[in-house]
Structure 1
Amino acid sequence: MAKSKISREDIRVVEALLFASEEVLTQAKLNVCFDDGTVPSLPDVVETLKKEYEKSERAFSIEKVAGGFRLITLVEYAPWVRRLFTRVGKTPLSQAALETLAVVAYKGPASRAVVESIRGVNSAGVIKTLLERKLIKISGRAKGPGRPLLYSVTEQFLLSFGLNATSDLPKLKEISELIAEGTDNAVTEEDFLPAEDEAD
């Protein structure tokens, strides 16, 4: 049962959970943290916190992503955060990994053959890396000969790119322009369009 009025304690509890959670915080997860059956509305608490952060000029805010909420740093502090992760954290994704990820995101569920037909190069190693980084997952098998594995993007992908759903992805033209900045053999918008036999 949702509370009609949000208390300061509710706000502090939600804030603590946002800081502590490695995954997005959803209403369902918040519900299990309250034993008395009266649970604050997560969107309402988030809206209150966002206003407080903005008023106090904090370096972070809260965004809705992957069906829940998480704390994020403001975009103007991205250079410092990027330095932290590039100098002491995980290695950034390569151009090949970004291209492969784009194909899976827009064409998925997609087989390795589909990825390689679009990129024009062997993508086995890149797919393995993306699986290890939990940015893509095996989501089934195709119905064609050999029943190849199909790959789709994961919730971690949505989290990493600040998306609430794959429908929030940039337009194909925009992603093509981004890829074109880093390679002469850029993936084009036409590469993501379904083949004639797929469109039927």
Structure 2
Amino acid sequence: MNLDELMAPLEAVLFASGDPVSVQQLRAIFDIDAESLNELLVSLQKKLEERHSGLIVQQVAGGWQMATRQEVFSYVEKLTETKDKKLSAAAMETLSIIAFKQPITKQEIEHIRGVHIEKVLAKLIELELVRELGRKEVLGRPILYGTTEGFLKCFGLNEISDLPDLPEVEIDHKEYEQLGLFDEDLQALDQPNNMDKE
């Protein structure tokens, strides 16, 4: 079977999966080498583009996925009656801090934001955008948080390094180091009278 004959099966596999399919999975399914698979994926991308398809093939979260072309997404929203799932400003701010500073503790996030984040953090975990990565090797061993594969898919990123660079700002490194040394003291930040509520 030549590569042209695999075009339709590849399109079907990506469409049926919904989630990103890894290169390893695709190679196993079609029994081809990495170079041939890449050639096949590029050909499918061009084919969809040439026929002005409402679908695209994109590399995301370490795999390949069939997705809706941005220009036609408004019609898909009407079809599925998608509810507004936009994150609040507080959630976006917290998620941004986690994405750029991960792995990071709850206390460190609260130190940056200046407010409690229990509810926002719980929501981000519920939406599978954030997950626990382990514990920091300091007093109290606080939980470390980071982003998930769902975060990559949600924001169309292949890997976390695809995030744009942050603008350079002056940071009080001494204060940040102290934050790591005195995590136990920062537990006091959980007291409502020590910090503004969200």
- Give the number of aligned pairs: 175
SS in 2 for 1:92: coil
Aligned counterparts, 1:100-119, within 5 A: 100-119=94-113
Structure 1 unaligned regions, length at least 5: 174-188
Quickly say closer, same or farther: Cα 1:16–1:129, change in 2 above 3 A: same
Partner of 1:6: 3
TM-score normalised over the length of structure 2: 0.77
Partner of 2:21: 25
Do 1:30 and 1:39's aligned partners in 2 also have CA atoms closer than 8 Å? no
Letter in 1 for 2:11: E
The more displaced of 109-118 and 66-75 is 66-75
Q: State which of 71, 79, 87 in structure 2 corresponds to 1:76.
A: 71
SS in 1 for 2:21: coil
Q: Does 1:44 align with 2:39?
A: yes
Quickly say closer, same or farther: Cα 1:161–1:117, change in 2 above 3 A: same
Do 1:66 and 1:155's aligned partners in 2 also have CA atoms closer than 8 Å? yes
Q: State which of 130, 140, 143 in structure 2 corresponds to 1:146.
A: 140
Identity of aligned residues (%): 35
SS in 2 for 1:104: helix
**In structure 2, what is the Cα distance between the partners aligned to 1:19 and 1:38?**
20
What is the deviation of 1:64? 1.1
Answer 1 or 2: which has greater helix percent: 2
Do 1:134 and 1:157's aligned partners in 2 also have CA atoms closer than 8 Å? yes
Q: State which of 46, 59, 68 in structure 2 corresponds to 1:64.
A: 59
**In structure 1, what is the Cα distance between the partners aligned to 2:84 and 2:27?**
33
Q: Does 1:125 align with 2:103?
A: no
Partner of 1:178: none
TM-score normalised over the length of structure 1: 0.77
Do 1:24 and 1:70's aligned partners in 2 also have CA atoms closer than 8 Å? yes
Is the radius of gyration larger for structure 1 or structure 2? 2
Quickly say closer, same or farther: Cα 1:129–1:26, change in 2 above 3 A: same
